[in-house]
Amino acid sequence: MSESGMGACPGDRGQPGTGAYRVRAEVAESERLPGDHHRLVLKAPRIAEEAGPGQFVHVWCHPPEEIGRPPCAAILRRPYSISRVRPPGEVELLLRVRGVGGRMLASKRVGDQLDVIGPLGRGFQIRPELRRAVIAAGGIGLAPVPFLIEALASQSVQVTLLAGAAHDAMVPYRVDRQGAQGASLPELAALGAEVAFVSEEVDGKLVSDLLEARLGELDPEQDEVMAVGPRAMLKRVAELTEGRVRAQVSLEERMACGVGACRSCVVPVAKQASPAAMAATEGGLATRSGEGLGYGRAERPAGLGATALQNGPTYKTVCREGPVFYASEIDWERLDL
Amino acid sequence: MSAPDLTVKIGSMTMKNPVITASGVFGYGEEFFGLADYGELGALVLKTVTREPRAGNPPASRTAETPAGMVNAIGLENVGIEAFLSDKLPVALGYGTNVVASIAGDTPEDFAHCADRLDSSEVAAIEINISCPNVKKGGMAFGVDAEASAEVVAAVRGATKKPIIAKLTPNVTDVAAVAVACAGAGAEAISLTNTFSAMVIDVPTRRPVLAAGTGGLSGPAIRPAAVYRVYQVARAVRVPVIGMGGIWNGNDALEFILAGASAVAVGTVLYADPAAGSRVVAGIRTYMEQQGAKRIGELVGAVRIGE
């Protein structure tokens, strides 16, 4: 059996809760990619079935059977956004190998087991009336983009991907600079997106520059921007889209628990989000029916809520109420970049 | 041979086993729902609440991973006592085991107010957090002073009939003296340790990693230091001691029990293994069976010194 339940108990799909499973997943593929990137494919059918684009898994980097021994390094799990799900029940992760946890995971071989909790967090919301999505993604922010493109394309949403990085090697995909239309990422274009790629080094441009040039094309009712990447980029996306078109942004922050308990990964949220975003977050969660991949069901995690105060900042957790927020939900002035 | 008896009593609270959650780590309990059967534990100690909601410390970052541990400076972000009573406590009670509320405040009156509000609730006990290193007022400011600690305990004692657990900080010269003062003021149990004051610096930027500058260290890194403080306190007071600090498995828990703890709490380990509590219970039970111990009390303080 490739996946076995570890901590699940009867009724674990009820509210409140994470809506997540803790499983022992077998490594199906482990591949080193250029630029310190690594691709891990896990056999985790229950996570694959429930996951939506933008959600993440929380991975224990040590062998599962050694969970009873305290490790010296990588004592916390590591969050990784789900890059793709694919039949039969596989979950693909793209890691940028930097610290000790990433190195441990990159050394996993096919057949090794991993203790994984997921899917976690609130992913991208796909509104039924969505006609066109412009994805803005920078660097390792491209990790969850394949899943997002596939989810959007399966619901007949027209997808444009504006991708970028400091230089070409900072991207976990092959960069094709031969095309007449400019650089592209063929692997992602093949999933059903029109792709434009720039690097600061070669093109002297940012993803937000590409977005700015396209803003006029977007219809405020039917189109939406979805952004993943560095905070400075996300803030620029928020500025460019404010009052013009809805934008969702995926944030990262240091986490400990991954389920909303420890309040480590909080971000400041605006006291009053725009009415459009509020409607979209609270009322408009119904998505188009999923067609076989299981991401048609939009589920808002249990309403743990922000710590609402009369005065001073209000925070929400990236791990539970995020990682994807409407740009209008975030207090960008208070957010550390 | 009959199954060993793991039952522990803390004042009027009877626990089916000595393993509980450490405050803070377990949130309000609801967040972990479904990841393990927390009803198997002796008690669930929830995140500290205060009279009014608090936003806590600025983010980015509130947590840093360190060798065999982590440093946090959350700063008691919480929903406040009223939202706790109406929204959080009922959910936690659904686990079907003892629920312990943890309270903090800027003044003894704040503590007393929270205790008074909890007195008619279904919490099995109240833990007094006079040991948080991450808030400017209250918190550890009480816990480093035996007299101030006793004053808080006395104020809470006057507001509730529930068992009171005083949670102490290790960041003092003589933790036993603080424990004695708290027991003398009416605490039915002493829990320790809270985190050890700590700091992490990012060398490339020369800035503290935590936005608050400093924080508290938890995890296996502090375990031996925590075991020793539990040993000191257990020898100084007659009330039960709840030991914690880096417990990862049954053996770690037994160290605390042999040092004098009647019960133990799991904290940081829950982030790695949400089912660690049940694993620790199983480890203790196995040891008792191997040793032929009939009751957990036989092991409490049973460390052999100078034999």
Distance CA A265, CA B72 (A): 11
Residue of chain B with shortest Cα separation from A306: B79
Q: What is the pLDDT of residue B219?
A: 98
In a domain, A57, yes or no: yes
User: In the prediction, which pLDDT does A180 show?
Assistant: 77
A94-111 mean pLDDT:
95
Longest dimension (CA), chain B: 62
Higher pLDDT, B237 or A180: B237
Question: Which candidate, A121, A116, A95, A58, places its Cα nearest to that of A251?
Answer: A121
Closest of B9, B24, B17 to residue B286, by C-alpha: B17
- Find the length of chain A: 337
Say whether both A208 and A98 belong to one domain.
no
CB atoms within 10 A of CB A11: 9
A151 and B CB contact within 8 Å: no
Most confident stretch, A194-203, A213-222, B114-123, B128-137: B114-123
Q: Please indicate if any CB of chain A lies within 8 Å of the CB of B70.
A: yes
Tokens of B145: 């002073």
Distance CA A148, CA A144 (A): 7
pLDDT of residue A152 exceeding 50, the answer is yes
Instruction: Indicate if A278 and A138 belong to the same structural domain.
Output: yes
Burial of A165-201, coded b for 16+ CB within 10 Å and e otherwise, reads: beebebbbbebeeeeeeebbbeebbebebebbbbbee
Question: How confident is the model at residue B132, as a pLDDT?
Answer: 85
Distance CA B32, CA B269 (A): 13
pLDDT at A311: 57
ipTM: 0.95
- Residue A288 placed within a domain: yes
Q: Tokens 């409607």 belong to which residue?
A: A279
The pLDDT, as a whole number, for residue A193 is: 95
Q: Are residues A318 and A208 in the same domain?
A: yes
What's the CA gap between A45 and A294, in Å, rounded? 11
Range with lowest mean pLDDT among A13-22, A190-199, B23-32, B163-172 = A13-22
Q: With residue A241 as reference, give the H or E element that holds it.
A: helix A231-241
| Min Cα–Cα distance to chain B from A309, Å | 6
Question: Does B1 reside within a domain?
Answer: no
Q: What is the pTM of this model?
A: 0.91
Does the beta carbon of A316 lie under 8 angstroms from any beta carbon of chain B? no
Quick one: A116 and A142 in the same domain? no
pLDDT band at B289 (very low <50, low <70, confident <90, very high): very high
B229 has a chain A CB within 8 A of its CB: no
Cβ contacts of B38 on chain A, cutoff 8 Å: none
Residue from B21, B33, B74, B287 to probe the interface with A (highest A Cβ count within 10 Å): B33
Nearest to B277 by CA among B10, B11, B25: B25
Residue A223 inside a domain? The answer is yes
A161 falls within a domain: yes
Task: Examine the domain organization and report whether A64 and A209 are in the same domain.
Answer: no
Local confidence band at A9 (pLDDT 50, 70, 90 cut-offs): very low
Q: Of A120, A145, A176, which closes a domain?
A: A120
Query: How confident is the model at residue B138, as a pLDDT?
Result: 75
**In the prediction, which pLDDT does A137 show?**
97
Residue B123 in domain:
yes
Distance CA A130, CA A160 (A): 13
Report the C-alpha gap between A127 and A141 in whole angstroms.
22
Contact yes or no for A315 and B69 at CB 8 A: no
Residue A76 has pLDDT above 70, yes or no: yes
Residue B303 within any structural domain of the chain: no
Put simply, the answer to whether B67 touches A73 (Cβ < 8 Å) is: yes
CB A127 within 8 A of CB A296: no
Determine, for residues B56 and A315 on separate chains, whether the beta-carbon distance falls below 8 Å.
yes
The answer to the question of residue A106 being in a domain is: yes
**Does residue B13 come out as left (phi exceeding 0), alpha (psi in the -120 to 50 range) or beta?**
beta
Measure in Å the smallest separation between the Cα of A29 and chain B Cα atoms.
Answer: 24
> Which residue's entry shows tokens 């375990």?
B223
Domain assignment present for A335: no
A325 within some domain: yes
Distance CA A119, CA A58 (A): 8
- DSSP-based three-state secondary structure for B237: coil
Task: Check if the beta carbon of residue B196 is closer than 8 Å to that of residue B219.
Answer: no
For residues A30 and A33, what is the distance between their CA atoms, to the nearest angstrom?
A: 10
- CB B258, CB B303: distance < 8 Å: yes
Are B22 and B244 within 8 A, CB to CB? yes
Closest to B220 (Cα-Cα) out of A151, A75, A6, A170? A75
Q: pLDDT grade, residue A14 (50/70/90)? A: very low
CATH at A304: 3.40.50.80
User: Is residue B69 domain-resident?
Assistant: no
Separation of alpha carbons B250 and B258, rounded Å: 12
pLDDT at B23: 97
Confidence grade of residue B137 (pLDDT, cut at 50, 70, 90): confident
Helices in B125-275 by DSSP H: which ranges? 140-143, 146-157, 175-184, 223-236, 250-259, 269-272
B252 φ/ψ angles, rounded to the nearest 5 degrees: -60, -45
Instruction: Return the pLDDT at B182.
Output: 98
| Mean pLDDT over the full length of chain B | 96
Please count the structural domains in chain B. 1
- Residue B263 CA to residue B253 CA, distance in Å, equals 9
* Contacts B273 to A, Cβ<8 Å: 60, 67-68
Position B136 scores a pLDDT of 74
- A191 and A310 assigned to the same domain: yes
Q: Which of A96, A120, A144 is the last residue of a domain?
A: A120
Does A265 map to a domain? yes
CA distance A114 to chain B (A): 13
**In CATH, what number is assigned to the domain containing residue B133?**
3.20.20.70
- Average pLDDT (B235-256) is 98
| Contact (Cβ atoms closer than 8 angstroms) between residue A81 and residue A55 | yes
Nearest-Cα distance to chain A for B74, in Å, is 6
Which are the contacts of B141, defined by CB distance < 8 A and separation ≥ 6? B148
Q: Which residues contact A93 (CB under 8 A, 6 or more apart)?
A: A39, A40, A41, A42, A57, A59, A80, A81, A82, A83, A143
Q: What are phi and psi of B81, to 5 degrees?
A: -65, -35
Classify residue B70: in a domain, yes or no: no
Same domain, yes or no: A48 and A150: no
The domain of B93 spans 8-57+75-197+218-298
Residue A90 has pLDDT above 70, yes or no: yes
Same-domain status, A172 and A139:
yes
Average pLDDT over residues A286-292: 28
- Extract the tokens encoding A191: 């999933």
Name the band, by pLDDT with cuts 50, 70 and 90, for residue A296: very low
Q: For residue range A197-217, what is the model confidence (pLDDT) as tens digits? A: 999 999 999 999 999 999 999
Question: CB distance A314–B65 less than 8 Å?
Answer: no
Give the residue-averaged pLDDT of A67-73: 96
Q: What is the pLDDT of residue A12?
A: 37
Q: Is residue B30 within 8 angstroms of chain A, CB to CB? A: yes
Q: Does B249 reside within a domain?
A: yes
Domain span at residue A228 reads 132-329
User: Do B4 and B294 contact (CB within 8 A), yes or no?
Assistant: yes
The percentage of chain B sitting over the pLDDT mark of 90, rounded to a whole number, equals 92
Q: What is the CATH number of the domain that holds A72?
A: 2.40.30.10
Q: Is residue B291 part of a domain?
A: yes
Q: What pLDDT is attached to residue A2?
A: 42
Can B114 be counted among the known catalytic residues? no
Q: What is the pLDDT of residues B51-110, one digit of tens each?
A: 999 999 998 899 999 999 999 999 999 999 999 999 999 999 999 999 999 999 999 999
> Which one of A67, A69, A262 has the shortest CB-CB distance to B27?
A262
Same domain, A205 and A236: yes
* Interchain proximity A73–B64, CB inside 8 Å: no
- SS3 call for B183: helix
- The reply to whether A6 touches chain B by the CB within 8 Å rule is yes
DSSP three-state, residue A332: coil
Q: Is the pLDDT of residue A7 over 70?
A: no
Q: How much is the average pLDDT of A17-34?
A: 90
CB B43 within 8 A of CB B125: yes
Same domain, A299 and A176: yes
DSSP-derived pairing of the beta strands A314-317 and B8-10: unpaired
Nearest to A327 by CA among A226, A253, A219, A254: A226
Cβ count near A131 (within 10 Å) = 14
- B215: which strand partners? B198
pLDDT of residue A310: 52
The kind and range of the H/E element at A276 are: helix A275-278
Residue where one domain finishes, among candidates A90, A120, A150: A120
A184 and A289 co-located in one domain: yes
B27·A74 Cβ contact <8 A = no
| Residues A282-306, mean pLDDT to the nearest whole number | 33
What are the φ and ψ backbone dihedral angles of B103, each rounded to 5 degrees? -125, 155
Q: Which residue of A has its CA nearest to B280?
A: A68
* Chain B residues near residue A314 by CB distance under 8 angstroms: 55
The pLDDT value recorded for residue A288 is 29
Q: Give the minimum alpha-carbon distance from B301 to chain A in angstroms, rounded to a whole number.
A: 24
pLDDT score of A312: 65
Could you tell me if residue B144 is inside a domain?
Answer: yes
Looking at the structure, tell me whether residues A113 and A171 fall in a common domain. Answer: no
pLDDT digits (tens, 9 = 90+) for B164-213: 999 999 999 999 999 999 999 999 999 999 999 999 999 999 999 999 99
**Weakest mean pLDDT among A183-187, B55-59, B134-138, B300-304:** B134-138
Provide the number of structural domains found in chain A.
2
